[in-house]
Amino acid sequence: MTTTTIPVAASLLVAGMTFAAQEGTATVSTAETGSAAASAPIEPERSTASFSVAGGYLYQFSTDFDDGPGSVSVNRAYGTFSSRFEIAPSLNLGLRFGWEGGWYDFDGNTPLSLGTGASPWNTVQGVQLGANLGWKINEEWSTFVGIFGAAAGETDADASDTLSIGGSVGAMWRANEDFSIGGGVLVSSQIEDDALVIPLLLIDWRINDALKLTNIAGPEAYPTGAGIELVCTAVPQWEFGIGGRYESRRFRLDDRGPAPEGVGEDSSFATWLRVGVRPLNGLRVDVLGGLMVWEEYELDDRNGNDLASSDLDPSPFVGVFLGYRF
């Protein structure tokens, strides 16, 4: 349910930044005649398309509300399918579909129950569809532009009231094979709220042979494009990372509960430790554990007017993610 721009942006930026940070690939010359050509190795043709599928599960342990009684725990599941096409030697098109489900388990008469004892929301799902165009201007500069649309709400919410749309634009500077940095801006509509404008910082810095600071290394279904990681790659095929990102979800509610057809919001900052391994070509497995901090839930009426909000205590979480690129 990567619903309100931040996680959507992360997913799209991973695609854009991956292309922007890539080193230029020399084209293969045409075949020559003569003995020199006969002895030269034949290089395989470079693929102009790639695809990936990924999924994951994350459990956020029960935590208490600061402003009143009650607690909440959350199960989350993720799924993505993305593709990248080389439509010209320096022009790439990325397409991505993503889904996230969140199953909230509220216990007690929470501050968002408005005295009814009912859960403010239960099962929330979100889907997003995005496209990203990356242009490699030269060996140093690349640019990208992206658009995305999303829908997020409880299972029985009116679909037409769950929609948002946005776009992003930015540029990346590649100083050398070890350091790339860039920036941009993302703008998105929000459900019953003002448009959201987010400045973007993009970085991929290999500090030394064992360490890199980046926001393009995370799992496909849980990307770190909206955050940052310090990653150790000292062991072949393994990654060990410590990172964090801001997460924000805003979604339409159904006609039941304390705020019929209202709007829910779940925002927090996630910090984690991650272990990743690539046991086979194209396959990656990531396990992470961390702490959700500065988390806040908000409940609005159907017009976006505030009804209630509450902070939550820090809560641990664990997750596992799988991805396959082909």
Q: What is the pLDDT of residues 284-313, one digit of tens each?
A: 999 999 999 999 999 999 999 999 999 999
Residue 34 has pLDDT above 90, yes or no: no
d(CA 9, CA 223): 10
The per-residue b/e assignment along 116-126, b for 16 or more CB within 10 angstroms, e otherwise, is eebbbbbebbb
Among 4-8, 31-35, 44-48, 156-160, the range with the most confident prediction by mean pLDDT is: 156-160
Comparing CA positions, the residue from 85, 54, 253 lying closest to residue 162 is: 253
Q: Determine the 3-state secondary structure of 223 from DSSP.
A: coil
Residue type, 284: R
Query: What percentage of the chain carries pLDDT values higher than 90?
Result: 78
C-alpha angle 230/314/111, rounded to 5°? 140
| Residue 32, pLDDT score | 34
Q: Residue 146: pLDDT band by 50, 70, 90 thresholds?
A: very high
* CA–CA gap between residue 95 and residue 50 (Å, rounded): 11
- In tens, the pLDDT along 52-108 reads 999 999 999 999 999 889 999 999 999 999 999 999 989 999 999 999 999 999 999
Rounded to 5 degrees, φ, ψ at 49 are -145, 145
* CA torsion, ordered 233, 235, 236, 238, to nearest 10 deg: -70
Residues 6+ apart with CB under 8 A from 41: none
Bridge partner list, 264 = 251, 299
Q: Find where tokens 């494009």 sit.
A: 225
Query: Which CA distances in Å does 312 have to 172, 178, 267, 300?
Result: 37, 40, 10, 17
CA distance 249 to 271: 17
State the pLDDT at residue 266: 96
Whole-angstrom Cα distance, residue 59 to residue 100?
13
Please tell me the predicted confidence (pLDDT) of residue 49.
Answer: 92
| Nearest-angstrom CA–CA distance, 247 and 184 | 19
Instruction: Indicate the pTM of the whole model.
Output: 0.84
What one-letter code names the amino acid at 281? N
Q: What is the pLDDT at residue 5?
A: 40
- Between CA 12 and CA 26 the distance in angstroms is 26
